A and B are shown apart, each in its own frame.
Chain A
Amino acid sequence: MPVRGPTPPDCCNVVGGGGISSGVGRFASVDEERSATAFEEVYSAHRRDVVQLAWLLTHDAAAAEDLAHDAFASLFEAFDRVAMPGAYLRRCVVNGVYQRSRSRQREQRRNGLVIAGTLQTVEGPSGGIADAIAKLPIDQRTAVVLRYWGGLRDGEIAAAMNVRPGTARSYLSRATTRLRKELL
């Protein structure tokens, strides 16, 4: 089995794939074939969770597929060095969501923001709680999804969001205060 490092490396540029270019034409060695087999197992085990996480953070089916796909592509590239594929994939998705959000904000600021509402694809269920969660700022929404859907602890949320545990707790506290105020 490949030797793996103790912590997940950063997941960079997962949205467009730019900056990750050395993976093309792999599968040359026996070790790498084994790695590919292991990767298939990881893919099979995590594909549902990863795309669901992307969906919950974007509510955009196409974006969720792209983000999940790019997360696995990034994992494939770094697979030999990743000790915790699940944590790595989560971080890739969260990074991708943040990049997408920033990119979309820039685009909207530049181009006829009059249609900001039009371009935001919102699919799936709506209603009091779902709407209230969707309206949370992205940091708080991400923390809520990772906690209450992902079942993660503060430290794991912090790792996925690349923030300190205290910051993650702050996001959660503010989000739950807001949700409580709106819903209960």
Chain B
Amino acid sequence: MNHLETTDPLATVVASVLRADAEHAPTLPEEWHDAPVMSISAAPGSPTRWKPMIFSAAAAAVLIAALGFVAGRPHEGSPAAAPSGWIPPGTEFVSTDLGPATTVYNGPVVAALSRQIGIEGHPPQVITTSLTYAAHATAIEQVCTSEDGSSGCRPEWNTASWSTSVTSSIDNGFASFDLWTIEGVPTEAAFVYYEDGDLQLWQRPIMGFAAFPNVEGNDEIVIAYDASGAEIGQFGLAQQGFSVVEGSTPLVADLSKAEFINLGDLTANTVRKCLTTSGGALAGDVATFPSDVDQAVVWQRCVGETKQIVGDAVKELNPRFYDLSTERPQNPDPALAFND
């Protein structure tokens, strides 16, 4: 094939790498030897069927071995195994606690409320509790789950005991399968069991987070168990959907883009100042503290202070507030844009 002539440095480099890579390709026989008969016949025992069959058998052996390996593998980093020895049916879908996150969504945050969770085949899932300004009367607290910068957040007015989402890992090119994630798993849960068709998996939640492979078009069943195997709760299709209590979603302020950006900066800067004056050392947007400091207490105090300051700033602007579900902004340069 002809190679495209180009002066773009990136194109030149990519073409060069691909040409070099192509030299590692296997070679086909020099002559075509009756192969159509082997390939195009679907009859059992046709020679070319053996290769996939052998490959499939080998893959199955690897699969079985790996499942056995994973199932029997000591768990790293997550809460201690149940003393009773009880585990849910199925295979453990391992998640690993990789410690506090280094890059977070909507920081600054305290290290104790951010975590990286490893799922094989995926970038770390980053769980963070943060404060942000989203055009409401003041800043809001939210729990966000991110994968390589692609985030979803659970706002403070979501009153459901737990919620779910599906990652866009395939579309984003992060992984070969999407994750069905569960946030806000009750703290007393030692296991989360996941069933989808023939698939039976379980996981030990970390910071209220569990994740399983997403199988499209099936009916997931999720059950939380305590360490003794007692059921804490179920999450089924009937409970899916938006988990916000009707009427609890705050009205939003009809701000300009500039006002919105300024309030976002005010939120981040106020949190940052509060964390550092409370003894926190910020590395990027993650604050670490001496071991004798209760980070949850510091965080709640900073959340309170920031909400007060941001709320006062919004009041000074005296904006019109409106219901997103029924109205549209009137500001000539609106902070929130709609495409309807």
User: Which residues of A come within 8 Å of B, CB atoms?
Assistant: 16-21, 23-26, 39-40, 43-44, 47-52, 54-56, 61-62, 64-66, 68-70, 72-74, 76-77, 86, 104-105, 108-120, 123-125, 129-130, 133, 135-137, 140, 144-145, 147-152, 176, 179-180, 183-184
- Residues on B with beta carbons closer than 8 Å to the beta carbon of A40: 31-32
**Alpha-carbon distance between A64 and B22 when the two chains are bound, in angstroms:** 11
Taking a contact as CB atoms closer than 8 A, the residue among B51, B63, B172, B214 that contacts A62 in the complex is B51
Pairwise interchain contact B14-A180, C-beta atoms closer than 8 A: no
- Residues on A with beta carbons closer than 8 Å to the beta carbon of B171: 137
Tell me whether A21 and B41 are in contact in the complex, defined as CB-CB below 8 angstroms, given that A54-B25, A56-B21 are known contacts.
yes
Pairwise interchain contact B48-A116, C-beta atoms closer than 8 A: no
- Residues on A with beta carbons closer than 8 Å to the beta carbon of B216: 109
- B278 at the A interface (CB under 8 A): no
Taking a contact as CB atoms closer than 8 A, the residue among A61, A115, A129, A151 that contacts B3 in the complex is A151
Pairwise interchain contact B17-A114, C-beta atoms closer than 8 A: no
Nearest chain B CB to A54 CB, angstrom units: 7
9 contacting pairs across A/B (C-beta < 8 A): A39-B32, A51-B26, A51-B28, A55-B24, A110-B199, A112-B63, A115-B120, A118-B62, A124-B21
Taking a contact as CB atoms closer than 8 A, the residue among A26, A86, A108 that contacts B177 in the complex is A108
- B44 at the A interface (CB under 8 A): no
- Residues on A with beta carbons closer than 8 Å to the beta carbon of B172: 137
Residue of A nearest to B197 (CB): A110
Pairwise interchain contact A147-B4, C-beta atoms closer than 8 A: yes
Pairwise interchain contact A21-B14, C-beta atoms closer than 8 A: no
Pairwise interchain contact A77-B36, C-beta atoms closer than 8 A: yes
Which secondary structure dominates where chain A touches chain B? helix
- B72 at the A interface (CB under 8 A): no
Taking a contact as CB atoms closer than 8 A, the residue among B2, B19, B36, B51 that contacts A76 in the complex is B36
- Residues on A with beta carbons closer than 8 Å to the beta carbon of B177: 105, 108-109, 113, 116
Residue of B nearest to A111 (CB): B63
Q: Which of B1, B11, B51, B214 has the most CB of A within 10 A?
A: B1
Nearest chain A CB to B268 CB, angstrom units: 24
**Alpha-carbon distance between A129 and B171 when the two chains are bound, in angstroms:** 20
B:163-181 near A, CB below 8 Å: 170-173, 175-177
Q: How many residues of B contact A (CB 8 A)?
A: 61
- B30 at the A interface (CB under 8 A): yes
- Residues on A with beta carbons closer than 8 Å to the beta carbon of B215: 109-110
CB-CB nearest 8 A-B residue pairs = A55-B25, A73-B39, A116-B121, A149-B18, A115-B66, A113-B213, A124-B24, A52-B22
Residue of A nearest to B28 (CB): A47
Pairwise interchain contact A114-B21, C-beta atoms closer than 8 A: no
- Residues on A with beta carbons closer than 8 Å to the beta carbon of B198: 110
**Alpha-carbon distance between A4 and B93 when the two chains are bound, in angstroms:** 54
Pairwise interchain contact B66-A48, C-beta atoms closer than 8 A: no
**Alpha-carbon distance between A137 and B169 when the two chains are bound, in angstroms:** 10
Tell me whether A105 and B40 are in contact in the complex, defined as CB-CB below 8 angstroms, given that A44-B30, A56-B22 are known contacts.
no
Q: Which of B4, B9, B18 has the most CB of A within 10 A?
A: B18
- Residues on B with beta carbons closer than 8 Å to the beta carbon of A151: 1-4
Pairwise interchain contact A52-B25, C-beta atoms closer than 8 A: yes
- B13 at the A interface (CB under 8 A): yes
Taking a contact as CB atoms closer than 8 A, the residue among A21, A112, A148, A183 that contacts B4 in the complex is A148
Pairwise interchain contact B11-A17, C-beta atoms closer than 8 A: no
- B222 at the A interface (CB under 8 A): no
B:304-340 near A, CB below 8 Å: none
- Residues on B with beta carbons closer than 8 Å to the beta carbon of A76: 32, 35-36, 40
**Alpha-carbon distance between A68 and B39 when the two chains are bound, in angstroms:** 11
- Residues on B with beta carbons closer than 8 Å to the beta carbon of A51: 25-28
Pairwise interchain contact A129-B14, C-beta atoms closer than 8 A: yes
Given contacts A55-B22, A56-B22, 18 further A-B contacts (CB under 8 A): A18-B42, A21-B42, A24-B36, A24-B41, A25-B37, A44-B31, A56-B21, A65-B26, A69-B35, A105-B177, A108-B177, A110-B215, A112-B91, A117-B120, A117-B121, A125-B24, A151-B3, A176-B10
Nearest chain B CB to A53 CB, angstrom units: 8
Residue of B nearest to A90 (CB): B1
- Residues on A with beta carbons closer than 8 Å to the beta carbon of B11: 148, 176
Nearest chain B CB to A4 CB, angstrom units: 18
- Residues on B with beta carbons closer than 8 Å to the beta carbon of A152: 1, 4
